[in-house]
Structure 1
Amino acid sequence: MKMFTGAYFYKLLIFFIIVGFIPLFIIGTFLYGFSSRELRNMIYEQTNSYVMQVHDNIDELLKDNERSIEALYEDEQIRQVLLGKLSKEEAYHDIYEKIYFLMAAKKNKSPVYILNTEGDLIFATHSLVEAYNLKIYSNWGIFRKAVEAEGETVFYGHNYLDSDQNSIVLSMGKAIFHEGVNIGYIIIDISRNAILDTLNTSQNAAPFNTILVDEHFYVMVNQKNPFEEGNFLNQTYQDYITDASKNAYWTTIDENPYLLLRDTSTKFNISTITLVPLDIIMKNDQFIKSIILWGCVISLIVCIVVALFLARNIANPINVLVKAMRDVEKGDLTVEVDFQRSDEIGVLGISFNRMVKRLRKLMSNIIEKQQRIRVSEVKLLQAQINPHFLYNSLDCIKWMAKLNQVEEVSTITTHLGKLLRNSINIGDEFTTVEECINLIKSYLYIQQIRVGDKLTTEMEIDNKILKEKIPKLILQPIVENAIIHGLEQKEEDGLVRILGYEEDQHIILQVIDNGKGMEKEDIKRINQPSLSEEHIGLYNVNKRLKLYYGSRNGIQIESNLNEGTIVTIRIPQK
């Protein structure tokens, strides 16, 4: 028996799969969002920590150089040389020794320049570069900025190579004033390497890119893209920096996701911009998606297996019960189910078995009762037939006795005895076709004694059906009806033909007469006992056939007034 064909099983299967998969999908989606958010937060915290550290390191670098400038600014010998009160040769040794001690602790020795207002190099650790030619740039660049600052240290972005071919990206300078008059300049250059060393000491393994810009968005350092140094910052980045309400942005650059963090030094007015490519998040997202996808696939398989087990555990007994109910519907009351379960389905199976057992007992009682009723009705109908026929036969014998036809009386009495003996023996309700025909011959003999040569009979009985069983006394009433009601009221000679043959697994018996026939209304009244007293024999035979073989069976009458009658009996072969 196929257990998986019922819709109930598939409904349970789909329900269990959905119930098992939806929580997994929700949890997976939540974990994916949570892990992505946590990774973003981790990257932000890590980057922000790096930016703050870079900011502190650069501030410290600039403050250290600022202290060096202040130390040189306060040196009296330098002032005396710039005022012309002391020759630089006389102060050369002391000043260079001081500069040496100021720069000795630094990894990257920054170039130091001390110039007078005429552009003459008073003291320097490197050869003077063209960018500090006062004859050209006296009112430009760092010199102009230093004068305007009136004794404050200023910063100026550069992009040139010093005499040692080091890339200079930032200069710190201060104008030296004496009694309100500018007498010279102190300049310290900061190389790109010095900035990168500061970044590298702060940076971990993350692929950060740090950009340093001044207040005019001039790019002094671009860690990953040095070719952009010496240019102004991209307008998109400028928009981010000018938005003072935020210091972190999740953005897209060239269709790639980035985290952008900025920090601006309030003291030095230098902004540090850090770009973090988020491809690590994308890779992590893909990794998480893969894990969740495989988890879903594996879980779906597990859900399907578990759902199959649960659905089959519930649906199989239901399918067994449905099949058993269909068998009961078809009439099989011997079916039982055995679930061997103690749950509600087991209780349902026990209740079903009890119900079938009660139905079986009830049906047995009903069948037994119906059998008794049917036997009683058949015997009653037989009892109705016998007096009717007996009256007709005795009437015939009476007239023969009056006519002193002793031999004929003896013969007819013998035939009548056969008929009565067959009628009285009601223990057996069936007889063979052969016995039935013999009784019909006895009956016809009696009738021919009554009516003489006016009655002609013909019989055509197939030998194949002679041993077939048929109900007793179903043919004689029809023959009697043909003679009494069909032929006796006819002046011409009457003919009664009796046919018997086999057709479509049925025994066909026909009684054909050429009597006066029947009207359509008379035929309809055959099934109504109160209206068919004239044809009580036909009614009794029809009723008995229906009791024996069901309501679809009975006699079939074909007749027209003054054209004779054909009565056909169809009996199923056993």
Structure 2
Amino acid sequence: MERVSESFMDNLSYLGQSLEFDMKEWERIIDSLQVNHTMESIFTSKYDSDVDYFFDVKKAGQVFDDWAYASNMYKYISSLVLIGSNGKIIRYGDDVGHLDVDKLIRKDWLQELKTSDGKLVWLGIHENYADVHYRTPYVISLAKRLDYGKHDVIVYMSFKSQFFVDKLNTKHDPNNNLYLLDGHNKIVYNREAKIINERYENPINTRVKGDTVRRSSNGEKILVASLPLSNTGWSIVETIPLSTLTEGYSLIFKVTVIVFLLSVCFSGIIWFVIASKIVNPIQRLARVMNRVQGNEPSVITMSNRKDEIGQLTQNFNYMMKRIDRLHQEHLQDQAKKNEAEYRALQAQINPHFLYNTLNSIRWMATIQHADNIRETVEVLGRLLRNTIKTKETMIPIHMELELLNDYIYIQKVRYNDKFEVLFELEPSIKGYRCLKFILQPIVENAIFHGIEPKDERGTITVRVFQEQERIVFEVHDNGVGMPEEVSEKLLSCQEGKDGIGLRNVHERLQRTFGKDYGLEIESRCGEYTLIRINHPVILQQEDQ
């Protein structure tokens, strides 16, 4: 009941806002007279002849006609009279020709206007002062005093009660009984024309917004709601039988129950279809998948369906066949890998044999006092020993530099000290690790392709430093360099063999750490070559 009452009041409030807007439009018609120069001229000018006055009155009539053309509210004006303190009078309206102005100014409304302190006064509904009762028996009037400097003008305007009939007949429910009351509680509008201009006798306070339940004259319970209109003293009262309200809600409840029951039945039918066409086939497929979890090989399920479940079954069968094929390929690859490891184990005999032979040569050189041969063989033997001993792919950077030093010593002997190697190392790199054998191929490239073709002695500079989250190895030589087009293609061409060479180092870095790492080559023909190795920072603990 509370929600019904709230909805009823909301509708009445909406109707009240519409009426307040219409009544403000009537007030604006009078306010427009205050600022119209034609009207002001008539009541402030001193006319030398009646002809001038007659022409100004004609102009005023034209002003009203223009306003009436712009707004259809003027067609409801019964009488509009402007009475000036200079004795001039302007008339407009359908019934103003039958209005006696002398009798008009003797009515009670003039006294009410005098006490209004210059404000507009809604006089309410009353019998038409014009002698046209057969045509317009009742009018609603309002009045205001206009101030044109030293001259006062009294405005009286009445409009036909038909205005509210046209406005309200279509704006409320025909089951409801609507009353529009003026400031004297007289009925301005109701569907029963015979009670217009009579006092509203229902014992409720029409000046307060609210609703209450009362009994009508025939004993029926009705809901009575009232809403005061702002700035006019008017109000709206609307009544409706409670049975009409509850009848609508009872119908809604019955319809809701029927719709609910139909929805339940329809949902049951849909669920039966879904269970037979979708759920059950999916459950069968799920049971087949559970057999895969139980390590049952070559699980296949058959289905002749052409819908999405059939496609799912076909894809499952394809996946199982592919998994089986990949499994077989994996077994074959594993067998090949085991065979390769066996061959690699056999191949380790050759380095061991070579190392033992070199060790014998070193002792023979020591006995013969051939120190140069002894030192060279000793370095080569250490290089081979470290190669055989170190099987990890990641080694400390200082060990990588030790291997590089042994390699450089051998090459210096080979090339009769044709070059020198300088090291620039940051102390912080001691705790880091790197891929094994990434520096030796780079230095080898610098010697063979940079320094060897050069006539004079060359210099190779090896720099190792940290740059944000990277360890950077730079190998710079002042050899013959290479053309730009050669340096750009160097990493994309096969370089060296058996995994030794620039391309090998570049690919190892990218396969191990990703595309953000690898080699960068910068060279200028006849001047230098700089190869930069970008390597991630790896602490010894992390690698371990």
Normalised to the residue count of structure 1, the TM-score between the two structures is 0.34
Richer in helix (by share):
1
Q: Which has the higher contact order (CA 8 A, sep 6+)?
A: 1
Structure 1 or 2, whichever has the larger Rg, is 1
